[in-house]
Amino acid sequence: MQRRRYWLTLVSGTLECLCFAGVVFGFPSLVFVLKEERYFSQLCSGVPGSNSSQGGTDCSRQDERFSLVFTVASFLNNFLCLPNGFLFDRFGTRVTRLLAICLYTTGTLLVAFSSSAFSELLFVAAPCLAVGGILLLLTNMQVRLLWHRMISRLRFLNPVVGGKVGNLFAAHRSTIITLYNGAFDSSSAVFFIIKHHPPAEDPVPDAELTHSVSSPRALQLRAEVSEGQHIHVEQFESVPNGAVPEPQDNVSQESEKAVSFKRCVLSWFFLRHLVWLSLMQLRHYFFIGTLNPTLNRLARNDPDLVSRYTNAFAITQLCGVLCAPWNGLIMDRHKGKKRHPGETEQEADLRSSCLSLFLTSLLGLIFSVCASVPLLPLQYLTFALQVINRSFLYGGHAAFISIVFPACHFGKLYGLVMSASALFSLLQYPCFTLVKGALHGDPFYVDVALTLLTLLVFVHPIFAFMHCRRLARCRAPSDSTRAGA
């Protein structure tokens, strides 16, 4: 029964992230539909109601307004992660998920009841979808981390039960976290489905009303499954050390308590990780925000060609849930193997994460180079690299935080990194304005500048690798002394 509950929670959490959590990142598909529905069409110069796919009109201001909607949504998606993390730590799963349901339902209803006359509703709807979705992802990942700590106690209080549950999930912590993040990435294909919704008088409202009705029920079912895991971090911290008679476990728990939140934030690991995520996230946000006008420019305003490439982009997003777990497998590849003499589990986890950080950085650089080349057929490769890199980026980010820092600070640290990176991502809007203004719609020079900035992300994996080497050298003298004795 217990095994079935854990599997059901894993499957339902994955489906929830896949269907709802990251839909706002399928914005390019939604923009194509919204242009046909004449949203912000008053900003086009020329025939009233025209859109940028038609010749003889200038719809750069319309494109800029859609980019602003995405900028606001993506900013709040990350910036509010910090208060969301504190909210979860203080009130637990149920309250946080109720807030997610309210925000998500509000967002879908606002999109459903919006129209070309009320286009400004998108500025409220998109952030509601974004923040509600990230809350779903955050609660799923934190429930997974709390299981990990509970399993370590069950192994000593009840070796039979603890062993079974531990064998089920303990060796695949990073894989499950990256799976949830991959499902989050793939959920951006929901707007692709809306784009191909059967023709109707008002396709956007019909599709969003269906989505709005289905989301609360799905989230309710997910809450019912997770009800048994309605727990707080403090519930684990309050368990006395005497209840767990394993010395090594006592040491790890005491060391976790000794590491304060402030000390974690001021560490070089945290700061380098923040820069690493912020730079690659800015590159992805700029690419997504400018995708529709870029495709229009490269396709010379051919609506059929733009639609074909937009569909290709949306379809590749579905592969996020398939790509992300590979990063988790890379980070978990040492599980079950014998560690080096004197090496702790955290050191082994960090050593395995170095390869993940390097591969993510390399994929980010290759993606940025391909995105900078103004060649339309190359965009197919760019789309594939974008979804692989993005799934590695966010899944690896969450897994790295869970490895390096105490689990009791996970929600706050995850939220702080996302909030701080959101401030950095605000640079995308000046970049949009520069492209639409001085660069006359050609983002080539901005793409080159962002590619050069992307080179800085290699600092993080290099320093992580050097840190692991330093720890190995420190263990070497004690190992040789022990061998001589």
Q: What is the model's pLDDT at position 377? A: 94
pLDDT of residue 143: 53
Cβ atoms of residues 289 and 432 within 8 Å: yes
Give the SS3 label for residue 58.
Answer: strand
Q: What integer is the mean pLDDT of 117-139?
A: 87
Per the CB < 8 A criterion, the answer to whether 464 and 353 are in contact is: yes
Report how far Cα 209 is from the mean position of its chain's Cα atoms: 26
CA distance 448 to 383: 18
State residue 460's pLDDT score: 94
In the chain, the amino acid numbered 206 is D
Q: In whole angstroms, what is the distance from residue 470 CA to residue 358 CA? A: 18
Cβ burial, residue 58 (10 Å; 0-12/13-18/19+): middle
Instruction: Say if residue 378's pLDDT is above 90.
Output: yes
| Residue 182: pLDDT band with limits 50, 70, 90 | confident
Across 407-414, average pLDDT: 78
92-115 pLDDT, tens digit each? 778 888 898 899 889 888 888 888
Task: Please say whether the beta carbons of 151 and 170 come within 8 A.
Answer: yes
Range of weakest confidence among 200-214, 251-265, 390-404: 200-214
Q: State the total domains in the chain.
A: 1
Tokens of 63: 């494109």
The identity of residue 225, as a single letter, is: V
Give the Cα separation of 428 and 286 in Å (integer): 6
Residue 469 CB neighbour total at 10 angstroms: 12
pLDDT at position 220: 47
Domain that holds residue 446: 2-43+56-229+259-474
Of the candidates 69, 79, 194, the residue with the CA atom closest to the CA atom of residue 131? 79
Q: Tell me if residue 49 falls in helix, strand or coil.
A: coil
Res. 334: pLDDT tops 90: no
Using 50, 70 and 90 to split pLDDT, how confident is the model at 205? Answer: low
Residue 129 placed within a domain: yes
pLDDT for the residue 2: 61
Give mean pLDDT, residues 249-253.
Answer: 45
Interhelix angle 303-317/291-298, rounded to 10 degrees, is 140
Predicted confidence (pLDDT) per residue in 252-292, tens digit: 444 555 578 888 899 998 999 999 999 999 999 899 888 88
Which of 188, 201, 464, 234 minimizes the C-alpha distance to 349? Answer: 464
Angle between helices 379-404 and 303-317 (to 10 degrees): 30
What's the distance, CA 372 to chain centroid?
A: 23
Residue 230 confidence (pLDDT) above 50:
no
3-state secondary structure of 45: strand
Lowest mean pLDDT among 79-88, 261-270, 331-340: 331-340
Residue 50 resides in a domain: no
Evaluate whether residue 236 is within a structural domain.
Answer: no
Instruction: Judge whether 130 lies within some domain.
Output: yes
At 99, list the tokens: 């807030």
Q: Of 136, 111, 139, 115, whose CA–CA distance to 125 is shortest? A: 111
pLDDT at 287: 92
Q: Is the pLDDT of residue 449 over 50?
A: yes
For residue 175, the one-letter residue type is T
What percent of the chain has pLDDT above 90? 17
> What pLDDT sits at residue 369?
96
Q: What whole-number distance in Å separates Cα of residue 324 and Cα of residue 326? A: 5
Q: Residue 135 pLDDT > 50, yes or no?
A: yes
Q: Which of 153-162, 269-278, 293-302, 306-315 has the highest mean pLDDT?
A: 269-278
- Here the tokens at position 312 are 């290709």
Q: In this structure, is residue 110 part of a structural domain? A: yes
d(CA 285, CA 265): 25
Is position 132 within any domain?
A: yes
Percent of the chain topping pLDDT 70: 74
Find the angle CA(366)-CA(311)-CA(115) to the nearest 5 degrees.
120
**pLDDT tens track for 19-68:** 888 888 888 778 888 888 888 888 887 645 444 444 557 777 888 888 88
Judged against a pLDDT cut of 60, whether residue 148 lies above it is answered with no
pLDDT at 116: 83
Whole-number mean pLDDT of the chain?
A: 76
At 221 the pLDDT is 46
CATH number of the domain that 376 lies in?
Answer: 1.20.1250.20
Q: Which pTM was predicted?
A: 0.70
Model confidence at 370: pLDDT above 90: yes
Is 479 domain-assigned? Answer: no
Whole-number Å distance between alpha carbons of 27 and 44? 20
pLDDT for the residue 24: 84
Is the residue at 65 inside a domain? Answer: yes
